[in-house]
Amino acid sequence: MLVVTGRRGLLTRQWADALEHVIVRHPNRNITPILTLDDGPMPNLHFELDHNPSSDSDEDITPFRITNVKLAFFPGETLARMWLAAAWACFLQHEALELVTVGDLRTRVLDPHENRERLDHVFHTGLPFTLTPEALEDAIATAIPRAEVRRLMSDSPVRGTAA
Protein backbone atom coordinates (compact mmCIF):
# COMPACT_ATOMS: atom_id res chain seq x y z
CA MET A 1 0.00 0.00 0.00
CA LEU A 2 1.39 3.42 -1.01
CA VAL A 3 0.39 6.52 0.92
CA VAL A 4 1.47 9.86 -0.56
CA THR A 5 1.58 13.00 1.58
CA GLY A 6 1.31 15.77 -1.02
CA ARG A 7 2.26 15.87 -4.68
CA ARG A 8 3.70 19.34 -5.08
CA GLY A 9 7.29 18.42 -5.94
CA LEU A 10 8.24 17.02 -9.33
CA LEU A 11 10.19 14.11 -7.81
CA THR A 12 7.30 13.22 -5.52
CA ARG A 13 4.85 13.16 -8.43
CA GLN A 14 7.21 11.03 -10.54
CA TRP A 15 7.80 8.49 -7.78
CA ALA A 16 4.11 8.43 -6.78
CA ASP A 17 3.05 7.80 -10.37
CA ALA A 18 5.65 5.03 -10.81
CA LEU A 19 4.81 3.19 -7.57
CA GLU A 20 1.06 3.83 -7.42
CA HIS A 21 -0.01 0.43 -8.79
CA VAL A 22 2.88 -1.66 -7.46
CA ILE A 23 1.80 -4.29 -4.95
CA VAL A 24 4.32 -5.17 -2.24
CA ARG A 25 3.50 -8.25 -0.16
CA HIS A 26 4.98 -9.84 2.93
CA PRO A 27 5.44 -13.64 2.96
CA ASN A 28 3.06 -13.68 5.94
CA ARG A 29 -0.17 -12.53 4.27
CA ASN A 30 -1.45 -11.29 7.66
CA ILE A 31 1.22 -8.55 7.61
CA THR A 32 0.69 -5.51 5.39
CA PRO A 33 3.64 -3.51 4.08
CA ILE A 34 3.01 0.25 4.09
CA LEU A 35 5.04 2.66 1.98
CA THR A 36 4.63 6.35 2.74
CA LEU A 37 6.00 8.89 0.29
CA ASP A 38 6.53 12.29 1.95
CA ASP A 39 6.56 15.27 -0.40
CA GLY A 40 9.55 17.58 -0.45
CA PRO A 41 12.44 18.79 -2.60
CA MET A 42 13.98 15.37 -1.90
CA PRO A 43 11.03 13.09 -1.12
CA ASN A 44 11.34 10.48 1.62
CA LEU A 45 10.00 6.95 1.14
CA HIS A 46 9.19 5.31 4.49
CA PHE A 47 9.00 1.52 4.71
CA GLU A 48 6.99 -0.08 7.52
CA LEU A 49 4.74 -3.02 8.32
CA ASP A 50 1.33 -2.63 9.96
CA HIS A 51 2.69 -5.05 12.60
CA ASN A 52 5.42 -7.64 12.91
CA PRO A 53 5.89 -10.46 15.39
CA SER A 54 9.30 -10.37 17.07
CA SER A 55 11.61 -13.11 15.82
CA ASP A 56 12.82 -13.95 19.34
CA SER A 57 9.82 -13.33 21.64
CA ASP A 58 6.01 -13.33 21.69
CA GLU A 59 5.92 -9.55 21.26
CA ASP A 60 4.02 -8.05 18.32
CA ILE A 61 5.51 -4.72 17.23
CA THR A 62 2.84 -2.31 15.93
CA PRO A 63 3.62 -0.51 13.68
CA PHE A 64 6.99 -1.95 12.69
CA ARG A 65 9.15 0.77 11.16
CA ILE A 66 11.79 -0.60 8.80
CA THR A 67 13.63 2.42 7.39
CA ASN A 68 13.27 5.43 5.14
CA VAL A 69 15.10 6.39 1.95
CA LYS A 70 15.60 9.89 0.56
CA LEU A 71 14.89 9.86 -3.17
CA ALA A 72 17.51 12.14 -4.74
CA PHE A 73 16.47 11.55 -8.35
CA PHE A 74 13.95 9.73 -10.51
CA PRO A 75 15.36 6.95 -12.74
CA GLY A 76 12.22 6.35 -14.79
CA GLU A 77 9.27 4.11 -14.05
CA THR A 78 10.89 0.75 -14.88
CA LEU A 79 14.03 1.30 -12.81
CA ALA A 80 12.04 2.83 -9.94
CA ARG A 81 9.91 -0.31 -9.76
CA MET A 82 12.94 -2.59 -10.12
CA TRP A 83 14.65 -0.77 -7.25
CA LEU A 84 11.60 -1.19 -5.04
CA ALA A 85 11.50 -4.93 -5.77
CA ALA A 86 15.23 -5.33 -5.04
CA ALA A 87 14.99 -3.17 -1.91
CA TRP A 88 12.11 -5.26 -0.59
CA ALA A 89 14.06 -8.46 -1.27
CA CYS A 90 17.01 -7.04 0.69
CA PHE A 91 14.73 -6.38 3.66
CA LEU A 92 13.34 -9.91 3.46
CA GLN A 93 16.87 -11.34 3.46
CA HIS A 94 17.51 -9.45 6.70
CA GLU A 95 14.34 -10.97 8.15
CA ALA A 96 15.34 -14.46 6.97
CA LEU A 97 18.75 -14.21 8.68
CA GLU A 98 16.95 -13.58 11.97
CA LEU A 99 15.02 -16.85 11.61
CA VAL A 100 17.98 -19.25 11.49
CA THR A 101 19.03 -19.99 15.07
CA VAL A 102 20.92 -22.60 17.07
CA GLY A 103 19.43 -24.07 20.24
CA ASP A 104 16.98 -21.24 20.95
CA LEU A 105 15.28 -18.29 19.26
CA ARG A 106 18.01 -15.80 20.16
CA THR A 107 21.28 -17.41 19.04
CA ARG A 108 21.35 -16.53 15.36
CA VAL A 109 23.82 -18.17 12.99
CA LEU A 110 24.22 -14.89 11.09
CA ASP A 111 22.79 -12.08 13.19
CA PRO A 112 22.13 -9.08 10.93
CA HIS A 113 22.18 -6.80 13.99
CA GLU A 114 25.63 -7.93 15.12
CA ASN A 115 27.81 -6.05 12.63
CA ARG A 116 26.09 -3.72 10.19
CA GLU A 117 28.93 -3.52 7.67
CA ARG A 118 29.41 -7.27 7.48
CA LEU A 119 26.07 -8.92 8.15
CA ASP A 120 23.49 -6.28 7.27
CA HIS A 121 25.30 -5.24 4.12
CA VAL A 122 22.54 -6.34 1.73
CA PHE A 123 19.81 -4.57 3.73
CA HIS A 124 21.67 -1.25 3.54
CA THR A 125 22.62 -1.83 -0.09
CA GLY A 126 18.98 -2.25 -1.06
CA LEU A 127 17.69 0.42 1.30
CA PRO A 128 20.34 3.16 1.38
CA PHE A 129 19.83 6.36 3.34
CA THR A 130 19.79 8.31 0.06
CA LEU A 131 18.96 6.80 -3.33
CA THR A 132 21.47 8.11 -5.87
CA PRO A 133 22.18 6.63 -9.33
CA GLU A 134 25.09 4.68 -7.80
CA ALA A 135 22.97 3.38 -4.92
CA LEU A 136 20.21 2.41 -7.36
CA GLU A 137 22.72 0.39 -9.40
CA ASP A 138 24.06 -1.34 -6.28
CA ALA A 139 20.56 -2.18 -5.04
CA ILE A 140 19.26 -3.66 -8.28
CA ALA A 141 22.56 -5.55 -8.71
CA THR A 142 21.61 -7.59 -5.62
CA ALA A 143 18.90 -9.15 -7.81
CA ILE A 144 20.25 -9.16 -11.38
CA PRO A 145 23.74 -8.97 -12.92
CA ARG A 146 25.37 -5.54 -12.66
CA ALA A 147 26.06 -5.44 -16.41
CA GLU A 148 22.32 -5.75 -17.07
CA VAL A 149 21.57 -2.99 -14.54
CA ARG A 150 24.08 -0.73 -16.27
CA ARG A 151 22.52 -1.46 -19.65
CA LEU A 152 19.07 -0.60 -18.32
CA MET A 153 20.37 2.57 -16.69
CA SER A 154 22.09 3.68 -19.89
CA ASP A 155 18.74 3.37 -21.67
CA SER A 156 16.95 5.48 -19.04
CA PRO A 157 18.10 9.09 -18.61
CA VAL A 158 18.26 10.42 -15.05
CA ARG A 159 15.42 12.89 -14.68
CA GLY A 160 14.17 15.15 -11.92
CA THR A 161 17.41 15.33 -9.95
CA ALA A 162 17.00 17.13 -6.62
CA ALA A 163 18.71 20.48 -6.27
Q: What are phi and psi of 54, to 5 degrees?
A: -60, 145
Whole-angstrom distance, CA of residue 13 vs CA of residue 26: 26
Q: Where are the domains of the chain?
A: 2-154
Quote the pLDDT of residue 156: 79
Helix (H) or strand (E) holding 52: strand 52-53
Whole-angstrom distance, CA of residue 79 vs CA of residue 48: 22
Predicted confidence (pLDDT) at residue 72 exceeds the cutoff of 90 = yes
pTM reported for the whole predicted model? 0.90
Write the pLDDT tens digit of every residue in 116-146: 666 667 888 999 999 999 999 999 999 999 9
Quote the pLDDT of residue 161: 47
Rounded mean pLDDT, 67-80: 96
**132 touches 73 (CB < 8 A):** yes
Closest CA to 121 of 107, 141, 104: 141
Residue 57: pLDDT band (50, 70, 90) is: confident
Helices (H), the chain: 10-19, 77-98, 116-119, 121-126, 133-140, 146-154
Write the pLDDT tens digit of every residue in 79-128: 999 999 999 999 999 899 888 999 988 888 988 877 766 666 788 899 99
Write the pLDDT tens digit of every residue in 3-30: 999 888 999 999 999 999 999 999 999 9
Classify residue 159 by its DSSP letter. B
Kindly give, in sequence order, each residue whose CB lies less than 8 Å from that of residue 98, ignoring residues fewer than 6 positions away: 55, 56, 108, 111, 112
Quote the pLDDT of residue 157: 67
